[in-house]
Structure 1
Amino acid sequence: MIPPVRRLAAVSVLGVSVLGAVLAACGTAEAPRAARQASAQPSPARPSPAASRPPTLAPGPAGQAPVFAHAPRTGDKTVALTFDADMTADQGGRAAAGERFDNPELIAALRASKVPATVFMTGRWAEEYPVQARTIGRDPLFEVANHSYSHYAFTADCYGLPTVERDAMRADVERAYAAFRKAGVPDAMPYFRFPGGCYDGQALRAVRGAGVTAVQWDVVSGDAFATDADAVARQVLEGVKPGSVVVMHCTRSAAPVTERAVRAIVPELRRRGYRFVKVSELIGATGGHR
């Protein structure tokens, strides 16, 4: 989760006790009508593997995974809204007790407004909500990216999160992809967002073998634990520049005003001439260079 203040370096998780509130769920059980109609049509010819490969950045120095925060500040007024679907590996009990952390109204608002988005999902979340994971992953409006399996930190001292051992970091990323496949997400993207936004050179080297580009952001929405949708909208609108990546959440319990904020953000950015895109389009615009 991101604290309700402007910070670009990390996602604040207010201690392990607060993590119990961060089960971000963001989907609906019903597949979109367009997707159902498309499935009834003959499949088009498959592109070559090279043509269909999602864009990534060139490797970083010293064997590190590359890091992407925003696209070049060109005249192309594009912006990517990203939503973290957080669930830590030890939060199943809260979900089993009936606590609701999904936000179907948010996903419905994005669909109604035809806003593309990238959902950074934990593998544990996909296990808990496989139908929602599948419908998001099969909706062409969205793309699913990796937010780790466990939502444990990849560095020490990351807002109270438990930590992943160095030799288990790559496996944690790959376990998330396995959970996505099991849930029925067909083409999860090779993009990885560190839990808490916390990383260092060791973490970047550890996940490089998973073939991912690490994706951060340059605009913090402040929606985590916020109660004022207008304040969230103002923070986003003040921060967005051409090529921006906005980090938000799709959880009713820990980010209850996000859907209302999005309903204000989208028309205003469109009025300013912005076009909403997925992270993959922004990375593609870099030509593979950071």
Structure 2
Amino acid sequence: MISVARSVTAVCALGAALAACGTAGTPGPARPDHTKPAASPSATRPPELAPGPGGLAQVFEHGPRTLGKTVALTFDADMTADQGPRAAAGEHFDNPDLIGTLRALKVPATIFMTGRWAEQYPAQARSLGHDPQFEVANHSYSHYAFTADCYGLPTVAPDQVRGEVERAYAAIRKAGVPHPLPYFRFPGGCYDREALRALSGVGVTAVQWDVVSGDAFATDADAVVRDVLDGVKPGSVVVMHCTRSAAPTTERVVRTVVPQLRKQGYRFVKVSELIGETNGHR
């Protein structure tokens, strides 16, 4: 369930155009612009994974397989730093219908949000951050890759890794999310040992997945549904995207997948619950 240091070629087609999710809310006062990851929505800090050998950040991929049928749906809000003009021109890097469906179906979820997306959609970021059904985590500021050759994404230099993570936390809090979690997802899912070493000093747990939905740029919702249903096991983490421009089928997929998994006895949880279960059964 945990991978410590290995080169990963991400298994979902994430390009620089991938983007995000949200639902409108009324913006409130921004919290102080601290860069240290904050506590969870509860009064206590959420569960994390201790650093691995050599102090490298550990990578969480799925929860225990033997503690019942739990599954975490995760949604990446990956807007790149240079996509502002496209958003201004009317491209949708959000998906309010998807978030509305998750709320209607009472499905908790974890949103991995880029700082750039939070700046573009502050009211939606705040609404997610104040809704106990969701937890918001870090997906970098710019959605630039932490390794070379990652789906054509621009690359972050090793000495800029900490700044990317901290700048994202600052932007997310400024948008009105009071307690972003100390979890981080690599843009494009791409990382290597050097990226884990650079991340180790930031104080976050890297979170990947074990089920690729295939929703990125997909036009066939039925195919995505099959990929999810075929891949889910107890403790699974499913990666999806909440954007109308680059993942247009996701809301339909959720409306189909959720009742079918519930019929199979699955219970939907947030990533933090799976990590907590992992800490107690390692």
Q: Normalising by structure 2, what TM-score?
A: 0.89
1:270 corresponds to 2:271? no
- Equivalent position of 1:202 in the other structure: 194
Give, in whole Å, the separation in 1 of the partners of 2:145 and 2:194: 13
- Equivalent position of 2:172 in the other structure: 180
- SS of the aligned residue for 1:286 comes to helix
Structure 1 segments, 4+ long, off by >6 Å, are none
- Equivalent position of 2:272 in the other structure: 280
How far 1:242 moved relative to its partner? 0.3
1:123-142 to 2 correspondences below 5 Å: 123-142=115-134
Give, in whole Å, the separation in 1 of the partners of 2:19 and 2:231: 26
Give, in whole Å, the separation in 2 of the partners of 1:238 and 1:227: 19
Alpha-carbon contact 2:144-2:156 (below 8 Å) kept: yes
Give, in whole Å, the separation in 1 of the partners of 2:280 and 2:184: 16
User: Paired residue for 1:213, among 205, 228, 234?
Assistant: 205
Give, in whole Å, the separation in 1 of the partners of 2:135 and 2:42: 19
How far 1:13 moved relative to its partner? 3.0
1:151 corresponds to 2:143? yes
1:30-49 to 2 correspondences below 5 Å: 30=25
User: Paired residue for 1:118, among 105, 110, 113?
Assistant: 110
Deviations 1:102-159 (A, max 9, x none): 2111000000000000000000100111011000011000000100001000011111
- Equivalent position of 1:28 in the other structure: 23
Alpha-carbon contact 1:148-1:172 (below 8 Å) kept: yes
Deviations 1:181-229 (A, max 9, x none): 1001000000000001000111111111110000000000011111111
How far 1:288 moved relative to its partner? 6.3
Give, in whole Å, the separation in 2 of the partners of 1:194 and 1:146: 9
CA RMSD for the aligned pairs?
A: 1.9
How far 1:50 moved relative to its partner? 11
Give, in whole Å, the separation in 2 of the partners of 1:75 and 1:129: 37
- SS of the aligned residue for 1:260 comes to helix
Q: Which runs of 5+ in 2 are unaligned?
A: 1-7, 27-38
Deviations 1:160-191 (A, max 9, x none): 11000110101100100000110010000000
Give, in whole Å, the separation in 1 of the partners of 2:203 and 2:11: 22
Give, in whole Å, the separation in 1 of the partners of 2:25 and 2:192: 40
- SS of the aligned residue for 1:202 comes to helix
How far 1:29 moved relative to its partner? 1.4
The verdict on how the C-alpha distance between 1:8 and 1:259 changes in structure 2, with shifts beyond 3 A counting, is: farther
- Equivalent position of 1:12 in the other structure: 13
Deviations 1:52-107 (A, max 9, x none): 11000111111211110001111411000000001001111101112122211100
Q: Normalising by structure 1, what TM-score?
A: 0.86
The verdict on how the C-alpha distance between 1:288 and 1:128 changes in structure 2, with shifts beyond 3 A counting, is: farther
How far 1:51 moved relative to its partner? 6.3
The verdict on how the C-alpha distance between 1:83 and 1:233 changes in structure 2, with shifts beyond 3 A counting, is: same
Alpha-carbon contact 2:14-2:216 (below 8 Å) kept: no
Give, in whole Å, the separation in 2 of the partners of 1:183 and 1:289: 36
Which has the larger helix fraction? 1
